[in-house]
Amino acid sequence: MLGERIKPDYLNDDKIGRVMDELYKYGLNDIFIEVVLEVIKKFKIDLKCSHLDSTSFHLDGEYKREEDKEKQEEEKIIKERPIFIKKGYSRDHRPDLKQCVLDLITSQDGDIPLFVRVGDGNESDKAVFGKVLVEFKKQIKFDSIMVCDSALYGQENLQLIQHLKWITRVPMTIKKAKELVQNIEVEEVKDEDKEKRSDLNLESYTWKEEIVTYGGIKQTWLIVLSEKRQKSDLEKLEKQLSQEEKKSQKFLKEIQSEEFEHPQAARYKLKAINKKLRLLEIKEVELIETYSKKKEKIYKMISLIIKKDEEISRKTKEAGKFILATNLVEENKLEASEILITYKNQQSTERGFRFLKDPLFFTDSFFVEKPERIETMLFLMSLCLLIYNLGQRELINCLKRVKKGINNQVGKVTLRPTLKWIFQCF
């Protein structure tokens, strides 16, 4: 399969390791971009929208290295130094292990990987996402709308990418966002719009647009209400309230039965208890001075449980709501439905991460000694993802052309099977 002159003896661990070292020296980013540009050209990949996200890969091993602090503080995206394998925020739910981070940009058309970058294990999405998009724009010179989650949304990043087109989610830590979801009412859907939204699979969404300036950038904010998410959020709120009622009854019994030497001790205990509650509060009614069985002066607290109506009301109003932001205003303005549909396709990167972490295709753990080879391994895995998604895209396009589907895992005919399912059929 590899050619008549290639002997089995040529393929061994040492040879593969040396090839990985040579790839790293040549420049992983340069190779990937060369491949991507050919793929875009040959297969006519639509680059109207591109999606950025990140994930982490945990690693077994110490990976002890002296860190060059000056280099570590450099703001270059394409680093001259190898990555640092460190503990950080784990998407693998393994905070006990060191890790590295993979940033991935995919096309909305076919989930084709367009840009990959391996980063230090402790790096923050907020710190690098803006720089990743700027670097991507330099490498892939196409007029693409960049879609990203709320990690991108910050004043520094918005200034950095103001020359790009983008759609992102607004974090609820921003005061203006909190005020809007609390006070604004989303628009009722007109009868003539209901059928259109149904065709776009948006019948469970309503929204309202606001023009906002944040970070010195004029933007459209789309305040969205999802009926399904609202129902889920309210159910969670009800469950949380029920759990806190049981917990607070236990706390109430505990504090009312306790004997305190000083009034301050009783109030300190009450304050500590209330820190554990979010929707309810135990309120002091009276602090009674009395005597213990040993005839010592003590204090006992009479208290009651009350609801934090303001907090419950806030969470009720926020239920099911989120805000999307874009700098596409005025002549470049997008329809509200386009903004929402484009952001919903952010799952394209998530599908890529699932592939990269699927033991059926690769492995569930790494055993690579050098950080340089870890970077190269993830580069090779990303190339595999590119080939896989390209094959899946061609399969789906072919089925659409012939207007013939195949049975999926539950026996239903589909025009969008996964390539993984096709592999499993044979």
The pLDDT of 245-253, averaged and rounded, is: 97
Reduced DSSP (H G I as helix, E B as strand, rest coil) percent helix, strand, coil of the chain, to 5:
45, 20, 35
The pLDDT of residue 66 is above 50 = no
- With bands split at pLDDT 50, 70 and 90, how would you rate the model's confidence at 81? confident
Cα three-residue angle 70-73-76, rounded to 5 degrees: 110
- In whole angstroms, what is the distance from residue 353 CA to residue 346 CA? 12
- In whole angstroms, what is the distance from residue 88 CA to residue 74 CA? 19
Position of tokens 């906002």?
Answer: 212
Show me where the domains of the chain are located. Answer: 8-149+346-414, 166-334
Q: Which of 7-21, 155-169, 270-284 has the lowest mean pLDDT?
A: 7-21
Convert the pLDDT of each residue in 398-415 to its tens digit.
Answer: 999 999 999 988 889 999
The reported pLDDT for the residue numbered 1 is: 56
Residue among 293, 296, 272, 295 nearest 282 (CA): 272
320 forms beta bridges with none
Share of the chain above pLDDT 70, in %: 95
* Spatial contact of 313 and 325, defined as CB atoms under 8 Å apart: no
- In whole angstroms, what is the distance from residue 267 CA to residue 34 CA? 67
- With bands split at pLDDT 50, 70 and 90, how would you rate the model's confidence at 70? very low
Q: Which of 188-197, 271-280, 338-347 has the lowest mean pLDDT?
A: 188-197
The pLDDT of residue 137 is above 70 = yes
Q: Is pLDDT larger for residue 163 or for residue 185?
A: 163
Helix (H) or strand (E) run with residue 223 in it: strand 217-226
The reported pLDDT for the residue numbered 140 is: 87
Spatial CB neighbours of 179, under 8 Å, sequence gap ≥ 6: none
Q: Is pLDDT larger for residue 361 or for residue 155?
A: 155
The reported pLDDT for the residue numbered 289 is: 94
The pLDDT of residue 68 is above 70 = no
β-pairing verdict for 49-59 and 145-148: parallel
Convert the pLDDT of each residue in 200-227 to its tens digit.
Answer: 999 999 999 999 999 999 999 999 999 9
* Best mean pLDDT range from 3-12, 72-81, 301-310, 329-338: 301-310
The pLDDT of 116-140, averaged and rounded, is: 94
Q: Is pLDDT larger for residue 197 or for residue 51?
A: 51
Q: What is the DSSP track for 64-127?
A: -----HHHHT---SS-SSPPP-B----SSS-TTSEEEEEEEEEETTTT-EEEEEEE-TT--HHH
Rg (CA), the chain: 28
Q: What are phi and psi of 102, to 5 degrees?
A: -120, 120
- In whole angstroms, what is the distance from residue 421 CA to residue 414 CA? 12
The reported pLDDT for the residue numbered 365 is: 67
